[in-house]
Amino acid sequence: MSILCHMADLRSGIKSKRISSFDVYGGNGDFIYLPANETYTVADINCCGIIRHLWFTHTNEVPEDDLRQNVILRMYWDGSDKPAVETSLGEFFGQGFGGYHNTFALPVQGGPSAGSALVSYFPMPFRKGARITLENKCPNEIRTYFYVDYESREQLSDKDAYFYARKITSEDEYRFDITGCGQIVGVNLFVEGLSRPFSELWNCSLSIDGKSGGYDLCGSDFFFTRDGWNINGGISSGVIDHAPTANGAKREQYYRFLLDAPIRFRESLSCFVSVPSNENLEILWYWYSI
């Protein structure tokens, strides 16, 4: 279905709203200062609605790689004190290991130069309210610009699920579990020190609704590149190849958004990724669930 097919639809009970770093005094200071070691509330919404668009950019008071890795993005729905999203700002928008590069996928983007503007188009429903924060773990304050575009609504459908994003690493033994009804919609894979063929990088097994072996993601090449040989960018999948780091370890990123075929579960989902011991992997999963 085309994403343009509903653009002419007029709907009642919906209002478009924006929260931003707009200069309320009418000047050109359309930013906020995010002090070192403090948390700033970007948005605190008290209604029913859906976030449609996020945009962030920053000036260079601190090195960009430090900023991308050490500013923590959190999102909370309906008054919960447990974040539905908790990851570094860079990782959420596809900039792993503090990297800064262009990313052109439909749900998240970084551009137009070295990923300087970070954008999300993931719809994020909430029934009572939404809160988004940034925590600055950098040693200096940061000047931050942002938009949060959302729709206020009278009510949501029972089918409107909550949005989540979680990173798993070796500390989690590359495992995670979800309870509830939902669907996986994307994954970002960040790799440091790749020393083997990409096809041997991972094998991922999913247990859906308590039944193992029902959905195996095969090797990393087939999952992220679709045909296993041509690693090319695209709307749903692609690769970003970073230059080697100062210590000679090469950093790479692979992403796949399951826009055409989300991985659905009705009761639970458990994930285990088998990873060779000498690679440093970070895997960010995006999903919806109730």
pLDDT along the chain (290 residues), means of 10: 78 94 90 94 98 91 72 97 96 85 86 86 98 94 95 95 94 90 92 67 82 68 58 46 48 82 93 76 93
pLDDT digits (tens, 9 = 90+) for 165-196: 999 988 888 898 999 999 999 998 888 776 66
Distance CA 108, CA 165 (A): 12
Asked whether this chain's domains 14-153 and 162-289 adopt the same fold, the reply is yes
Instruction: Select 162-289's CATH number: 1.10.10.10, 2.60.120.1390, 3.10.310.30, 3.10.290.10.
Output: 2.60.120.1390
User: What are the structural domain ranges in the chain?
Assistant: 14-153, 162-289
Q: Which tokens belong to 289?
A: 């669930």
Element (DSSP H or E) covering residue 166: strand 162-168
Instruction: Select 14-153's CATH number: 2.40.50.320, 3.30.565.10, 2.60.120.1390, 3.40.50.360.
Output: 2.60.120.1390
Q: Contact 89/228 with Cβ under 8 angstroms?
A: no
Distance CA 203, CA 191 (A): 14
The pTM (predicted TM-score) of the whole model is 0.89
